[in-house]
Amino acid sequence: MKSDLSLTPTPAALLLIAAAIGVAVWAYTTRYPILSSRRRGVLLGARFLALLALLVASLAPVLRFPTASRERNRLLVLVDHSGSMEVRDAPGGQSRAAAADSAAASLARELGSRYDVRIAPFDAALGPFTRGPASLLAADAAGGARASRRVGETALGDALRQSAARVDPDSVAALVVISDGAVNRGEDPERAQDPSLPALALVAGSAADPPTVGIAGVESPDEAVLGRPAAVHVTVRQGTRAAAKGTVRLAEGGRELATVPYALSGAGSSTRVSLPFAPLSAGKHFLSVTLDPVPGDPMSQNKSRLIAVEVRPAKRLVPVLSAAWDWDLRSLTRGIQSDTAWSAVRLAPAGPGSAAVPGGAAAPLDSYLQNAEAVVARYDVRTMTPERAQALLRYLERGGGVLLWLDPEGRAPAETPLSRALGLTWRFWNGDPGMVATADLTPEGRVHEVTLLGGDAASAASTWRALPPVKPPVFLGARGGALVPVLSARIEEAQVPLLFAGHVGAGRVAVLNAAGTYRWGLTASGLGNGAGVEASFFGGLTQWLASAGEDRPVRITAPDITAEGRSIAVRMTTTAPLGGDARATVRARRIGAAGAAAVAGAGDGGRAEARTALSPAEPGVYTGSIAAPPGVYQLVGRVERGGRVVGVDSMRVAVGAQGIEFETLAAEPDVLQRLADRSGGASAPLERPEPVLRRLRSPDLVRSRLAQVDLFHNPLLFAILVLALAVEWTLRRRFNLM
């Protein structure tokens, strides 16, 4: 490291100083002829000294030079604690992890007099740095039983990046990595490495495959269709061992879905098997792939994998609940099913709280709402019983979408909590108004996606006015702000709402006050070639209702699967920044495990639920993590501000074996060798560490600190300037030149 002097001149200042020098020379050589040459030289010298001080200041010189630190240089030691370090191929039959921990402790003892040795474990994340091997012991103590069954992935690049951020780089002489080199997560180590910091590596383990049979890869569909066959493809591979046979199993919870035998012919062989299954319910499913234990196999961690599959119905279902089936509902059905991914399901009321498909048995309405994308229901006295109204209200409150279509005869249902939440008011006509209502956009409708029909406000307004008139069964109104009119019609001197849209709970709701809308689908007006508005209006309306999740004020996100041994990373976002007084929390509740083991980190002796507060990361974003043992969990996030709940959101996640760490168990010394070569370090096997030890004991392995001196902000320079000006002023008075 060499000394360096840098200048940052200011051109204007240099010009002024040059001019001042010229003026001084001119003045003292021409204006004062009575001065002797000796006195003139003394005055010019004082003036030049002052101007020289100003010149130095204007150049802004900065001197940088190396200086030896009074403290010992630090030596950082990163010890791999990932799952692959459990392979027992180190000398003496030890695991790689045990050998690596022992080597780190030896380095601390042997080099502690020269270096301030700091040791940290790493797997998917970097642990804390401590003096000596204390951090390794602390990591094992924190892991408990899991410490002897490490399953984390290897993120060496992330560990290198994080270590550089945690420690002053000018204090570190070198970095030692003790690992098998099998990197499978995070940043590329060569990109994360600081090439100016010597990296030394001790390679743990053998480059040959260990004598174990394991899962080498799993291919699963991200999405499956309800009731249709799907398959999970599993690659099974073995290391240096004799032929083996076994069974691969696919299960969900305690239910076995498929079993397939496999056979491996010899060392290094592999096979690919398919496990068929047919999902029986929609939603997110967590499936486990496992290998039966293999006789004589020294490892168990590489024989399981957890996968997530989202199951959807073959069609996106929209139940249509009505006591009678008329032309309007037929037109609605055509509009919904114009998108072949959607299907309308006709339901008729049955009993006080049930419904049935035509010719089918009655079932609770809730059972039809479970997988419904949206629901259409006639808002009349026969359909909207208190029990069915309550089921629809629950559906809305949890984020569903409902279209309520007023009875063509105007028969209003009894008041229920649903009707109070809607805030609807109506009065009946004195006489039948007939088909006289021509639809037009309200101010709110000019910006609402349902009534814009996929176009802009001008084209949508023209389309609505060109459609045949319809009949509003009642004069409908709304109070309370839950609904706003988006379509209306003028009848005589009154503006009568035809369509309301709004929100109830977390869901979206629309109320249609029009009969004879089937004529909108038959007309050639408005849309080209007589297409009508069935698809754009009824199809668009149901799709808008099904998208209520977009209105959530709070959203929670987390990985579907978190590897066993790692905390679940949680992120919550709000639609708008809330300020510093907002508080975000998340709780994890285990699903289907009543009385099961407590959630890790609960700290109270056995809860099946854990809570944690999230920290603000940026305006409207909160992040954190929550620890949990293997299992399926419901994450529920809540944001509060000033004692008021801003929003709540939830999702299902799982913790279990991801398995990528065990797909390749052979050590990869080339990765560590490249790190050493790029930085002037050294790499060696753990059992023959002499090249690394020689480099660490080398006297030239030292990190000097770079000192910086700002020469122009210097008291001496200021003193010279003042002294020179004072000397010149004093002499000028003495020589009678003032």
- Write down the pLDDT at residue 563: 85
Phi, then psi, of 406 in degrees rounded to 5: -65, 145
Directed axis angle between helix 96-111 and helix 134-143, to 10°? 150
Q: To which H or E segment does residue 541 belong?
A: helix 540-545
Which of these ranges, 87-96, 248-257, 567-576, 628-637, has the smallest mean pLDDT? Answer: 87-96
CA distance 293 to 202: 32
- Write down the pLDDT at residue 136: 67
418-455 pLDDT per residue, tens: 999 999 888 887 777 777 788 999 999 999 999 999 88
Directed axis angle between helix 96-111 and helix 690-697, to 10°? 30
Phi, then psi, of 509 in degrees rounded to 5: -140, 145
| Structural fold of domain 213-312 | Immunoglobulin-like (2.60.40)
Whole-model pTM?
A: 0.72
Cβ-based neighbour number of residue 277 at 10 Å? 19
- Stretch 42-48: mean pLDDT: 83
- Write down the pLDDT at residue 706: 58
Q: Is 51 helix (H, G, I), strand (E, B) or coil?
A: helix
CA distance 150 to 302: 11
Is 518 a residue whose pLDDT tops 70? yes
pLDDT band at 142 (very low <50, low <70, confident <90, very high): very low
CA distance 199 to 182: 17
Is 33 a residue whose pLDDT tops 80? no
Q: What is the CATH number of domain 74-208+666-703?
A: 3.40.50.410
pLDDT band at 329 (very low <50, low <70, confident <90, very high): very high
pLDDT band at 596 (very low <50, low <70, confident <90, very high): very low
Is 227 a residue whose pLDDT tops 70? yes
Residue with tokens 């910006």: 447
Residue with tokens 């753990």: 686
Q: What are the boundaries of each domain within the chain?
A: 4-67+709-734, 74-208+666-703, 213-312, 316-550, 554-656
Which listed CATH number (3.10.450.230, 3.40.50.880, 3.60.15.10, 3.50.50.60) goes with 316-550? 3.40.50.880
CA distance 311 to 636: 21
- Stretch 541-555: mean pLDDT: 91
CA distance 580 to 127: 30
642-695 pLDDT per residue, tens: 889 998 899 999 998 877 788 888 899 999 999 999 999 999 999 999 999 999
Q: What is the mean pLDDT of the chain?
A: 86
Is 60 a residue whose pLDDT tops 70? yes
Which of these ranges, 231-245, 331-345, 407-421, 587-601, has the smallest mean pLDDT? Answer: 587-601
- Stretch 511-540: mean pLDDT: 75
Is 526 a residue whose pLDDT tops 50? no
CA distance 295 to 243: 11
CA distance 500 to 513: 8
Is 250 a residue whose pLDDT tops 90? yes
Spatial contact of 712 and 6, defined as CB atoms under 8 Å apart: no
Q: Give the CA angle between residues 383, 386, 387 to the nearest 5°.
A: 85
CATH second-level architecture of 554-656?
Sandwich (2.60)
CA distance 279 to 255: 12
Residue % of the chain over a pLDDT of 70: 91
User: Same topology for domains 74-208+666-703 and 213-312, yes or no?
Assistant: no
Is 605 a residue whose pLDDT tops 90? no
> Three-state SS string across 251-317, please?
EECCEEEEEEEEEECCCCCEEEEEEEECCCCCEEEEEEEEECCCCCCCCCHHHEEEEEEEEECCCEE
